[in-house]
Each structure stands twice: as structure tokens, then as C-alpha cells.
Structure 1
Amino acid sequence: MPYALALALTLLVEVPVYTAALTRAGGPRPTRAAGAAVLVNLLTHPLLWWSLRPYAAGPAAAYWTAFALGEAGVCLVEGALLAPLTGLPARTALPWAASATANAASVLAGFLLGGFLLGG
């Protein structure tokens, strides 16, 4: 999948998930939540994407290990950044839960779309 498509898919999936999760729980206004979602993704997505490239040509086990560790790192970074960007209390579980949910949804969407595009 080309990078631009992967980034677009990530934003298309994650921004609504973040916005819904953060605002329904009495958090920030939808525009602030959506803006924070875009910002954290613009920070983490290219870092993960380009850091996985060296593993793509190697053994599958190395790639999937790097992928899993990278996604876990993305969840941690995005969760940590969401509280100050949205004005949520730093010790609330909401940013972390929203990050895990949004990233799981986009990984699933990527797998589904990638399988569709590859014919499998």
C-alpha cells in the first residue's frame, strides 16, 4: 500500500474514533478532539511507516515483531500526547483507551483494505 493511501486510511479511521471517544466521555469539543487526533497521527504515522521499511524485505517474523512493537509504541506516544492536546487530566485512562481503540481500528482497516487490494 502506498504511503499516502496508508496515511489517508489511518486518518479516515482514527480521527472519527478519537473524536467520538474523547467527546462522549465529557472531554473536549469535537473540533479540539479531531485536531488532536490529526496532530498525533501526523507525528507517529510517518515514524512508524519509515521505521518498518528495513524489515519489509527480511524475514516475516522480524517484520511482524517490529510491527507489533511499533504499534504499541504508537499507542503509548499518542495516549501521552492526547491529554495535553485535549485538556484532559493527565492521569485519566481515556487517552490511553482511545489510542488503543483507534489504532486497533486502523490496523484492522489496513489489513482488510490491504487484503482487498492484493486480491487476497
Structure 2
Amino acid sequence: MPYALALGLTLLVEVPVYTAALTRAGGIRPGRAAAAAVLVNLATHPLLWSSLGHFSAGPAAAYWTAFGLGEAAVCAVEAALLAPLAGTSVRGPLPWVAAATANAASVLAGLLLGR
């Protein structure tokens, strides 16, 4: 999948998930929630994409290990960035649950479309 398509798919899936979670559970205005979602993705997606490129030519086990560890790191970084951008507490569960849910949804979408 080309990078631009992967980024577009990620934003298409994750921004609505983040926006729904932050507005419904956190009382954040939809515009601020959506903007925060776009910004955290623009901060993490290019780095994960380029990092995984180093493993794509090697053994499948190395790629999937890097993929899993990379996605876990992305969830943590996005949650940490999301809290101040959206105006929530980093100590509360909302940014962590929102990041895990949004990233799980986009990974699932990517796996389904990649078939």
C-alpha cells in the first residue's frame, strides 16, 4: 500500500473514533477533538511507516514483531500527545483508551483492505 493511501486510510478511520471518544466521554468540542486526532497521527504515522520499511524485506516474524511493538509505541505516544492537545488529563483513562481503540480500528481496516 502506498504511503499516501495508508495515511489517508489511517486518518479516515482514526479521526472519527478519536472525535467520538473525546466528545462523548470527555466533553471536548468536536473541532478540537478532530484537530487533536489529526495532529497526533501526523506526529506518529510517518515514523512508524518508515521504521517498518526496514523490516519489510526480512523474515515475516521480524516484521510482525516490529509491527506489534511499533503499534504499542504509537498508542502510548498518541495518548501522551492527545491529552494536552485535547485538554484532558494524561493520568485519566480517556486518552489511553481512545488511542488504543483508534489504532486497533485502523490496523483492522488496513489488514482488511490489504488482503
Aligned to 2:53: 53
Q: Which runs of 4+ in 1 moved over 2 A?
A: none
Equivalent residue of 1:11, what SS? helix
CA distance in 2, matches of 1:11, 1:44: 12
Q: Compute the displacement of 1:26 (Å).
A: 3.3
Equivalent residue of 2:95, what SS? helix
Structure 2 letter corresponding to 1:72 = A
Matched, 1:19 2:19: yes
Q: Compute the displacement of 1:27 (Å).
A: 2.8
Q: Give structure 1 stretches of 5+ with no counterpart.
A: 116-120
What is the correspondence of 1:1-120 to structure 2 with a 5 Å cutoff?
A: 1-115=1-115
Aligned residues of 2:79 and 2:90 also touching (Cα < 8 A): no
Q: Give structure 2 stretches of 5+ with no counterpart.
A: none
Number of residues of Structure 1 aligned to a counterpart in Structure 2: 115
Instruction: Name whichever of 22-31 and 100-109 sits farther off.
Output: 22-31
CA distance in 1, matches of 2:69, 2:26: 31
How high is the TM-score relative to the length of structure 1?
0.94
CA distance in 2, matches of 1:67, 1:53: 10
After superposition, the C-alpha distances for 1:62-103 in whole angstroms (9 at most, x for unaligned) are 000000000000000000011100111231100000000000
How high is the TM-score relative to the length of structure 2?
0.98
Aligned residues of 1:27 and 1:86 also touching (Cα < 8 A): no
CA distance in 2, matches of 1:66, 1:113: 20
- What is the percent sequence identity of the aligned residues? 79
Structure 2 letter corresponding to 1:83 = A
